[in-house]
Amino acid sequence: MKLARLAGSTPVRDKILAIFPGALGDFICFLPTLDKLTRDGEIDLFTRTEYGDLLPASVRMRSLECYEISRLFVSGVEEEEKLKRFFAPYSRVYSWMGSGQPDFVRNLTLLSNGKLKVFPFRPSVSRIHITDYFLSCLGAGSSDEITPHIPIRADALAWSGRLWQQSDLERKSVLVFSPGSGAREKNWPPDFYATVAEWWEKKSAGKSLAVLGPVEEERDKIGGCGDRVLALRGLELGRVAAVISRCDLYLGNDSGVTHLAAAVGVKTVALFGPTDPVQWAPRGKRVTVITRNVECSPCLSSVMKSCLHHKCLTALSPDYVIGRLKELLG
């Protein structure tokens, strides 16, 4: 950590700007890198506003959708006084956005007085875990032991406690699943989730919850679950994290919410079909990845979108997954 000290004064920490545009799963995999940056200085992070609930208090969040960022993509703005004043306090600037945009790189290089490092958002080397890639941008080593962690906000935890009381969940075993993802080609069929929910209820007189985002709401992604599953719709991420943290088991696709479950420390089972768990599996001591090594998996995203059979997902039959859950739960 670089500190500046005047005689008799308190050390002044570096002021660092980071720019990160990723989706939820990317953001959670970025957290160990953000943690390393916070040890080096005071951090301002430009990212999506919905991630504010998941950030440590030591990080100040700014929205990517702001004047200072949007102007960087316009040619010849490096002399704008407003931008010069904004970027002047930062001793270092790191960006995982704009590496292929000449105007962005030129403007930000000049405005940061050359104190800029811009990284491609995705690694050029295949089959490196995305967490390790982000860390490598700072010259940090990789390890399976480096795992994201998300603390639960007190107000969100209190809200989830009231939900447990109102829904009569306090003395029940609770399974939570999230049936969606950023690409429907990665999603286990909703009727399969319904089968697992039925088994869970019979196994332990337990209850199942489904965390649904806007996409899953539109597609009615809980299949034929009926009253067996309590559907939670449109929750902010802080409350999603609090709900998941109270559950006995999480089950989900290769998705941002699955990474969130792993990061709050709940027992997490991640179902992988066409995507590569070597690159994208959530990390944590309580994470189990279930996949079937069919001959065409993992596959390229372009192939995934045109696939007609989805064998990698249908081979993960409800009976097979339930059998693995039984082994896991003992």
Token reading at 155: 């107000």
The answer to whether the CB of 253 falls within 8 A of the CB of 184 is no
3-state SS string over 28-79? HHHHHHHHHHHHHEEEEEEECHHHHHHCCCCEEEEECCCHHHHHHHCCCCCC
Radius of gyration of the chain (CA): 22
pLDDT of residue 309: 75
State how far the Cα of 132 lies from the Cα of 41, in Å rounded to an integer: 21
pLDDT of residue 312: 84
Report which residue type is found at 253: N
pLDDT of residue 293: 82
For the chain, 330 residues long, give each residue's pLDDT as a single digit of tens: 444 444 554 456 789 999 999 999 999 999 999 999 999 899 999 999 999 999 988 999 999 999 999 999 999 888 899 999 999 999 999 999 999 999 999 999 999 988 999 999 999 877 899 999 999 999 987 777 789 999 999 999 999 999 999 999 998 999 999 998 888 888 999 899 999 999 999 988 899 999 987 655 544 556 556 677 899 988 999 999 999 999 999 999 999 999 999 999 999 999 998 999 999 999 999 999 999 887 777 876 666 777 767 788 888 999 999 999 999 998
Domain 3-136 has CATH 3.40.50: yes
pLDDT of residue 109: 94
Going by C-alpha positions, the residue among 310, 173, 178, 309 that lies closest to residue 240 is 178
pLDDT of residue 223: 55
Which residue is it, tokens 């960022």? 69
Question: Quick check: pTM over 0.85?
Answer: yes
Strands 229-233 and 207-212, bridge-based pairing:
parallel
The answer to whether the CB of 207 falls within 8 A of the CB of 182 is no
pLDDT of residue 302: 65
For the chain, the domains span 3-136, 154-329
Domain 154-329 has CATH 3.40.50.2000: yes
pLDDT of residue 13: 79
Distances (CA, A) of 3 to 35, 225, 329: 18, 57, 49
pLDDT of residue 224: 55
141 Cβ partners below 8 Å, 6+ apart?
135
